Amino acid sequence: MVSARNLLLLSSSRLHGHGYLEHARGQLEDLFKSANVKTVLFVPYALRDHDKYTATVRDALQPWGFNVEGLHTKPDREQALREAQAIFVGGGNTFVLLRSLYEMKLLDPIRELVLQRGLPYVGSSAGTNVATRSIHTTNDMPVAYPPSFEALALVPFNINPHYLDPEAGSRHKGETRDERLEEFVAYHGLPVLGLREGTSVRVQGEKAILLGDRNAKLFKADGGTEELAPQADLTFLLQK
């Protein structure tokens, strides 16, 4: 019952020239206020210091009128998720985050609550990666090994956060981001949305739109690419 889906998938929490989450303030307020959210349950497992990470998010959201609680402080994490008004899965290392979600057996409860019951979900960077089909298209080093790369599959495509265009005239001879993403598409036949910093995907039920003031780059399942402008309708990517 994906019609209950209510997601905001951010490329990043930080953007040059802005404070933490400041560039996404309007998007976050729109989501939280529309769902009457007063308290956000933060999932801090992508970084090592969970208390410090939760405090960083609290310092950003509290002045805007939203309380923040850390999932790591809850004795019964699954019950805390079921009682949550909204969850925010923060960025960091995607492999560490996904391994933690597997170890704590939280993937199925989150998936059910978001897809079946409409629990608002905010992801940033790694938190956006785990919202997709798999974490194959993260930029992170595999410092931890989750049981699988398969993730929450709240959307049926993959995202590459912090997407960077190839540098024109570069003398670097290693693979570009484009080449790595094209390789994934060639092996898996799944589309990947390259989200430049400052952009995000807003999903409401069976509709999706690109937010922010920059284009996103779509790596199509057939191997082609397409630039998508701000406010582009991304609903076609939700079709399995």
Which residues form the catalytic set?
125, 140, 162
Contact 118, 87 (CB under 8 A): no
Q: How many CA atoms lie within 13 A of 92 on its CB side?
A: 21
Q: At how many degrees (to 10) do helices 107-117 and 94-103 cross?
A: 90
What does residue 216 show for φ and ψ, rounded to 5 degrees? Answer: -115, 155
Q: Which candidate, 211, 226, 218, 238, places its Cα nearest to that of 29?
A: 211
Percentage helix, strand, coil, to 5, in the chain?
35, 20, 45
CA distances from 182 to 112, 116, 125, 178, 220 (A): 31, 33, 20, 6, 9
Q: Tokens for 26?
A: 């309007």
Amino acid at 232: A
